[in-house]
Structure 1
Amino acid sequence: MTVTAVTHQSVVDFLYKEAKILDEWRLLEWADLFTDDGTYMVPPIGHPEASPTESLFYIHDSRSRLQERAERLLKKEAHVEYPHSTTLRNYTNILVDDLDSEVIKVECNFTTYRTKREVIDTFIGKSYYDIVQQGDGLAIKNKKAVLHLDSLRPHGKISLIL
Structure 2
Amino acid sequence: MLLDRNFNVNTTVLTHASIDETAVRSIEQFIYREARLLDTWKFWEWDKLFTDDGMYWVPHKHNQANPFDHISLFWENRMLRETRIRRVENARNWSQQPQTQTAHLVGNVCIEGLDEDGFLVVSASFQATEWRLDQRQLAGRYTYKLAGNKVDGWKIKLKRVDLVNCNDVFANLEVFV
In the alignment, residue 48 of structure 1 is paired with which amino acid? N
State the AA in 2 paired with 1:113: T
So what's the TM-score if we normalise by structure 1? Answer: 0.85
Q: Which residue is 1:105 aligned to?
A: 121
Query: Residue 129 of structure 1: which of 144, 157, 163 is its match?
Result: 144
Corresponding residue of 1:28: 44
Tell me what 2:168 maps to.
151
Alignment deviations for residues 112-147 of structure 1 (CA, whole Å, 9 cap, x no partner)? 101112x11100111100011178211111001011
Going from structure 1 to structure 2, the CA distance change for 1:115 and 1:137 (only over 3 Å counts) comes to same
- Structure 2 distance, partners of 1:84, 1:24, is 11
Structure 1 residue 55 displacement after superposition: 1.3
2:76 is paired with a residue whose SS is strand
Counterpart in the other structure of 1:13: 29
Moved over 6 A (4+): none
Compute the TM-score of the two structures, normalised by the length of structure 2: 0.78
For the structure 1 residues 25 and 80, does the alpha-carbon distance in structure 2 shift closer, same or farther, using more than 3 Å as the test?
A: same
Q: Does 1:54 align with 2:65?
A: no
Question: Contact 2:64–2:70 (CA<8 Å) still a contact in 1?
Answer: no
Structure 1 residue 86, shift from structure 2 partner: 1.2
* Kept after mapping to 2: 8 A contact 1:31/1:70: no
Structure 1: 5+ residue stretches without partners:
none
Of 71-80 and 9-18, more deviation after overlay is shown by: 71-80
Query: SS at the partner of 1:83?
Result: coil
Match for residue 120 of structure 1 among 116, 129, 135: 135
RMSD: 2.2
Unaligned runs of 5+ in 2: 1-19
Give the aligned residue type for 2:124: C
Q: How many Å separate the matches in 2 of 1:137 and 1:102?
A: 16
Q: Is the 8 A contact 1:28 1:71 kept in 2?
A: no
